[in-house]
């Protein structure tokens, strides 16, 4: 038996979601733009999905634009706002954003957009002074700050960021958040925080891969990334992924409903696992917020002094524990984690952070086995 502790990378599809997904795939859904019964069936699924997501997250239905997932939603938010803002516009993001935000901002920078980097401290928390400095930039069109970090488990104090943005009064930029990792793991108060754009993805919460959405305040001007048939009220062309959208909506609804019970369970597991790790390796270091502070309870990122990240992950895999080094995208390459570097860790440390991320299906037995496997494996890989 293997223990899967890489839920921040992707999650197994939930049984209820799988059942609905298969039902929808078999329902002979037409093209949602079609005017026949098959088309109307698809349209009903898409409309119902929009309604469910809006209701679960407390935003009007018009906010929901379905996308192929978090990467597209992030690209759309950043490019959509900046392309519309004209020359001289600036963008600000934190230094620990997912690559789909950071690389997009870098690409915009290469094409003449001013790009401000908001710094974080060693726990991964946004530095208020750096945020204020970025916000004072003339022509700042968009601020993108993730709700929760996929590598460190740090959660942004969104109400605090909101009040710092409010200090700008009428000069406030649009505010986007990548809430892909926060959904289902940390409360989301989109309306209270005054967000303008929010990215979400289904496969991190037991939904299918390749579907998600961008929530956006309808009044704001964003240039569509995909143009063509004018679906999604012109915001995102392409035949709607009706079955995927139906499955995504159910996954979002369930994730929001279950978050209050899931997080405390994960915190208990996290404490147990961390305790087991410390028994075997007393000088192991927890990256990100302490277990007593607000954080994603499901995410433990650990540095083992002297361990080489890739061989540790490979060895754990052989022993039946599936984990990763920082973000999934970089685990194939030998690059250091930009998140750990931004948090002030050395290049060497930024190549060795072991990420263990739990999910809805993680059991107490999994945590127990993971502790055993870690103990056994670390004896072999750590210098004596
Ligand atoms: C914080 C964050 N944003 C965006 C994404 C990308 O989402 P998707 O895989 O749906 O493109 C991920 C997952 O890789 C993520 O962890």
Q: What is the mean pLDDT of residues 355-383?
A: 93
* Atom nearest to 69 CA in ligand 1: 10
* Atom nearest to 72 CA in ligand 1: 11
In percent, how much of the chain has pLDDT > 90? 91
Own/partner long-range contacts of 52-57 (Cβ < 8 Å, ≥24 apart): 52/249, 52/250, 52/252, 52/253, 53/200, 53/213, 53/215, 53/248, 53/249, 53/252, 53/253, 55/253, 56/252, 56/253, 56/256, 56/257, 57/188, 57/190, 57/198, 57/215, 57/252, 57/256
Alpha-carbon span 326 to 350, nearest angstrom: 9
- What is residue 308's predicted lDDT score, i.e. its pLDDT? 85
pLDDT per residue as tens digits for the range 1-56? 899 999 999 999 999 999 999 999 999 999 999 999 999 999 999 999 999 999 99
pLDDT per residue as tens digits for the range 277-315? 999 999 999 999 999 999 999 999 999 988 888 889 999
With 90 as the cut, is the pLDDT of residue 350 above it?
yes
Question: From ligand 1's centre to the CA of 203, what distance in Å?
Answer: 9
Residue identifier of the C-alpha nearest atom 14 of ligand 1? 9
With 50 as the cut, is the pLDDT of residue 355 above it?
yes
Q: b or e along 297-323 (b: 16 or more beta carbons within 10 Å of the residue's beta carbon)?
A: bbbbbbbbeebebeebbebbeebebeb
Residue identifier of the C-alpha nearest atom 9 of ligand 1? 70
- What is residue 332's predicted lDDT score, i.e. its pLDDT? 57
Q: What is the mean pLDDT of residues 52-61?
A: 98
User: Catalytic residue among 329, 341, 381, 382, which?
Assistant: 329
In the residue annotation, 329 being an active-site residue is answered as yes
Q: What is the mean pLDDT of residues 358-383?
A: 93
Question: From ligand 1's centre to the CA of 169, what distance in Å?
Answer: 31
Cβ–ligand 1 contact at 180 (below 6 Å)? yes
Mean pLDDT score of the chain: 95
Q: What is the mean pLDDT of residues 139-155?
A: 98
Alpha-carbon span 144 to 42, nearest angstrom: 33
pLDDT per residue as tens digits for the range 208-259? 999 999 999 999 989 999 999 999 999 999 999 999 999 999 999 999 999 9
First to last CA, the chain: 29
Look at 142-156, 325-339, 340-354 and tell me which has the smallest mean pLDDT.
325-339
Question: From ligand 1's centre to the CA of 328, what distance in Å?
Answer: 9
With 50 as the cut, is the pLDDT of residue 328 above it?
no
Question: From ligand 1's centre to the CA of 154, what distance in Å?
Answer: 15
Q: And the tokens for 107? A: 């690409």
Question: From ligand 1's centre to the CA of 38, what distance in Å?
Answer: 32
In percent, how much of the chain has pLDDT > 70? 98
**Phi then psi for 197, rounded to 5 degrees?**
-145, 135
Cβ–ligand 1 contact at 113 (below 6 Å)? no
pTM, two decimals, is 0.97
* Atom nearest to 149 CA in ligand 1: 1
If DSSP codes are grouped into helix, strand and coil, which group holds residue 121?
coil
Residue identifier of the C-alpha nearest atom 5 of ligand 1? 70
User: How would residue 119 be classed by pLDDT, with cut points 50, 70 and 90?
Assistant: very high
């Amino acid at each position: 038996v293997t223990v899967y502790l890489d839920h921040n990378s992707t999650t197994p599809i939930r049984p209820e979601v799988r059942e609905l997904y298969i039902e929808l795939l078999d329902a002979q859904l037409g093209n949602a733009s079609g005017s026949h019964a098959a088309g109307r069936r698809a349209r009903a699924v898409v409309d119902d999905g929009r309604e469910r997501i809006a209701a679960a997250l407390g935003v009007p239905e018009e906010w929901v634009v379905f996308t192929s997932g978090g990467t597209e939603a992030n690209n759309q938010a950043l490019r959509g706002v900046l392309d519309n803002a004209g020359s001289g516009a600036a963008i600000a993001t934190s230094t620990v954003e997912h690559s789909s935000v950071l690389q997009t901002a870098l690409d915009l920078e290469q094409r003449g957009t001013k790009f401000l980097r908001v710094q974080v401290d060693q726990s991964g928390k946004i530095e208020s002074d750096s945020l204020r400095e970025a916000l004072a930039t003339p022509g700042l069109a968009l601020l993108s700050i993730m709700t929760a970090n996929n590598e460190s488990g740090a959660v942004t104090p969104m109400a605090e960021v909101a009040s710092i943005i409010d200090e700008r009064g009428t000069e406030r930029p649009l505010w986007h958040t990548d809430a892909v990792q926060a959904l289902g793991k940390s409360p989301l108060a989109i309306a209270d925080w005054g967000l303008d754009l929010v990215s979400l993805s289904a496969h991190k919460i037991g939904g299918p891969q390749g579907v998600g959405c961008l929530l956006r305040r309808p009044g704001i001007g964003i240039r569509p990334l995909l143009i063509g048939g004018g679906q999604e009220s012109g915001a995102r062309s392409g035949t709607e992924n009706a079955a995927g959208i139906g499955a995504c909506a159910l996954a979002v609804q369930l994730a929001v409903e279950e978050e209050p019970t899931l997080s405390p369970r994960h915190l208990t597991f996290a404490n147990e696992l961390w305790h087991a790790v410390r028994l075997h390796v007393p000088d192991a270091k927890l990256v990100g917020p302490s277990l007593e502070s607000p954080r994603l309870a499901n995410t433990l990122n650990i540095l083992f002094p002297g361990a080489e990240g890739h061989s540790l992950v490979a060895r754990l895999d052989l022993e039946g524990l599936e984990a990763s080094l920082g973000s999934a995208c970089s685990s194939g390459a030998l690059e250091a984690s930009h998140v750990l570097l931004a948090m002030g860790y050395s290049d060497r440390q930024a190549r060795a952070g072991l990420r263990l991320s739990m999910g809805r299906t993680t059991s107490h037995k999994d945590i127990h086995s993971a502790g055993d496997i870690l103990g056994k494996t670390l004896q072999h890989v750590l210098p004596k």
